[in-house]
Chain A
C-alpha cells in the first residue's frame, strides 16, 4: 500500500499557503509534518481529508487519484482534526453513533478498535465531563469507523499529559504495526520519536528533515 502526493497547491485569496507539495509513503510508516504555527500543516491535512479543495495536484492511493474519487477517499482516509470533533452535551455512545451503525458499534466495542482504545470504559459519560485523554481516544475512535488504511492526525497529543500521550502513542504504534499509514502534524518531540520520516514546512514548501532526537537542531531548522 502506497500513497503519493504530487504538486499539491493551495491559496487563500492572494496568499499562497501550500506550494508544490510532493511526497510519498508506504503502509506501516508514520510521516511527521513539522513547522511553526500558521505555516500550512493543518491546511495540508485538510486537503488530504477532503475538508477543503486543493487548487492543484493529486493524491494517489496506489494508482487512483483520491481527489477525483470522493467516495473512495472517504473509505480509505481517516481524519482526526485538531481539537475535538465531538458534541459536548452528548455521551460517548451518541457521538459514536454519528459515524458507526449500531451493529458495527457493538462489535467494535466488544473486541474491535474501540475496545483497544478503551472507549467502552467511558461510553455513558457526557463529553463535557470527559478528560482530555478520553476525548482524544473517542475522537480517534470516530475517525476509525471505516477502518481506514490511512490515518491523518492533526497534533494528536497536543495539550495532553504525559501518561495519556503514552497511551495514545501506544495505540498509534499498534495501528502502524498493522500496516496502517500515519500522517501527523506535530510540534512535540515525543510524537516525532515514532515518525519514520519527517518533513519541515516553511512558507508553504515541504523540506525533508532527518530528526535525530536533538531538539536544538530541530528548533534551528524551524
Chain B
C-alpha cells in the first residue's frame, strides 16, 4: 500500500503543471466573473436612477415649487428622477421600460388640499401581480397623499386656532414654521430610520455569498484535472494489486488519502482569508477536501473513459453549484429545489464556508460532509470491486 501511494504521488507530481495551469486559468476567469458581478450589483444599487413620470399638476405654482424642492433637496434625488409627461406619453414610456412608474396628480389637487380635502394620487407601475413591491408602492402612494393632506390640515388648523385666540399677527408666521418643520422632517427622513440588507444567502451579504459560491465552484472545477490519474479503462494493475494483498478497500483508501491531501492544499489556499488560525483553517478544510475528493473518485469509478469522466464531472459539478446557489442566488429557485439544494454536497460546502466566514460553529455541516465522504468512499470501494471482478482484459 505504501508503494502504491508513492507511485500515485509520483503520477500526481507529473500532472501538477497542467493542474496549476488550469487553476491559473480558472482563477482568472472566476475572479473576472466575480468582479464583473460585484461591479454590476454595486452600480445597480448605487448609481442607477429610477425614472418616474409626473402627469398633471404642471400649472400649479405651489406644486412646481414642491417638485423642484424634492429634486434639489430631497435624498430621493440620488435614486429617483422625476420627469414631467402627458399621461399617454407616460403610459408608452412605462411600456417600453423608459420609466419605472408614473404618478397622476389629479386636476385641482393642490386647491383641494388647501381647502382641506384629500384627492388621492394615482401611482401606475409596470408590475400587475400582487408582490411585496406592489404592496409597498400602494402603501407609499397612500402615505404620500395622506402626509400632504394631514400636514396641510395641521398647518391650517394651527392658523385657525391662533387667529381664533387673537394671535392673528403671528398666525401666518407660525403656520409657515410648522409647514417648514413638516418639510424638514420629510427631507431629512434618512435620519429617522436605516435600511439594512441582510443578504441573499445564509445571512451573508451579496459579495461574501458570491465569494463563498464561487470558491465552491472553483474547487469543483479544480478537481477535474485529476481525472487524468484516476480514470482508467483497464483494471490490470488493480487486479495484480489484489493478487498481492492490496484489495479494493486499500486501493481506494490510498487514492483518497493522496487526492484528499491535494484537495486540502487547494481548499486551504482558496479559503485562507475565511478564518484566523492555521488550526481553524485545517479543521474547516479537511471535511471539504475529503468530500470533494471522494465524490470525484466516485465519478472516476463510474466512468471508464477520460472524456466522459471530465464531461460528467463538469456537468455534475457546475449543475450542483448552480442549483445550490453558488452561481445564482438560491432564493430565486422554487422551494422544492431549495430544500434539495440544502442537502447536496455543494450546498453543504457553501453553508460550511458561510459559517466559517461568519465565525459560527460549523460542526453540523462538517459532520454532514464527513457522512457524504463515507458514503462516496463506500460506493467507490464497491465500484472498484465490481470493476476488478468484471475486468474484460483488453488488448495491448
Contact = CB atoms under 8 A, between A and B. Distances in A.
A83 interface: yes
B243 A50 contact: yes
Interface string B206-246: 00000000000000000000000000001011011011110
Interface in A56-93: 70-71, 74, 77, 79, 81-87, 89-90
A83 B393 contact: yes
Interface in A82-108: 82-87, 89-90, 94, 97-99
Contacts of B7: 87, 90, 94, 97-98
A158 B395 contact: yes
A142 interface: yes
A52 interface: yes
Nearest to B242: A51
A83 B396 contact: yes
A191 interface: no
Nearest to B228: A89
For A51, A135, A160, which residue has the most chain B Cβ atoms within 10 angstroms? A51
A143 B245 contact: no
Interface residues of B, number: 23
A31 to B, nearest CB: 18
Given A51-B239, A87-B11, A97-B3, A82 B394 contact: yes
Contacts of B3: 97-98
Chain B residues touching A, majority SS: helix
Given A70-B245, A85-B239, A90 B396 contact: no
For A74, A77, A85, which residue has the most chain B Cβ atoms within 10 angstroms? A85
For A70, A71, A79, A132, which residue has the most chain B Cβ atoms within 10 angstroms? A79
Interface string A157-174: 011100000000000000
A77 B244 CA distance: 9
For A83, A84, A86, A90, which residue has the most chain B Cβ atoms within 10 angstroms? A83
B385 to A, nearest CB: 9
Interface string A130-146: 00100110010011000
B4 interface: yes
A51 B388 contact: yes
A178 B10 CA distance: 36
Interface of A: 12, 42, 46, 49-52, 70-71, 74, 77, 79, 81-87, 89-90, 94, 97-99, 132, 135-136, 139, 142-143, 154-155, 158-160
Per CB-CB distance, the 8 closest pairs between chain A and chain B, nearest first, are A82-B393, A132-B396, A85-B236, A85-B240, A83-B394, A49-B243, A159-B395, A51-B242
17 contacts: A49-B243, A50-B242, A52-B388, A70-B245, A71-B245, A85-B236, A85-B237, A90-B11, A94-B7, A98-B3, A98-B237, A132-B396, A136-B396, A139-B236, A143-B240, A158-B395, A159-B395
